[in-house]
């Protein structure tokens, strides 16, 4: 998987390394900005309000 990615990247090894680092940072950025905020409300310690209906996800 990563070996194939390395072969696809253009340029010399130094350029490949720079692009790989940039790709990794972009991946981390997507996780922190969109994926993790979307997943977090599903965690138990994020549920701190009271709900009259146990099945409803909305806060009272």
Report the interface residues with another protein, using CB under 8 A: 1-3, 28, 31-32, 36, 39-41, 43-54, 59-60
Shortest separation between residue 58's beta carbon and another protein, angstroms: 9
Q: Assign residue 20 a region: left if phi > 0, alpha if psi is -120 to 50, beta otherwise?
A: alpha
Of 10 and 54, which has the nearer Cβ to another protein?
Answer: 54
Which CB, 14 or 53, lies closer to another protein?
A: 53
Calpha distance 5→51 (Å, rounded): 48
């Amino acid at each position: 998987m990563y070996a194939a990615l390395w072969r696809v990247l253009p340029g010399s090894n130094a350029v490949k390394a720079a692009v790989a680092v940039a790709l990794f940072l972009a991946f981390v950025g997507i996780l922190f900005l969109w994926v993790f905020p979307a997943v977090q409300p599903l965690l138990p310690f994020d549920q701190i309000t009271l709900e009259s209906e146990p099945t409803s996800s909305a806060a009272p």
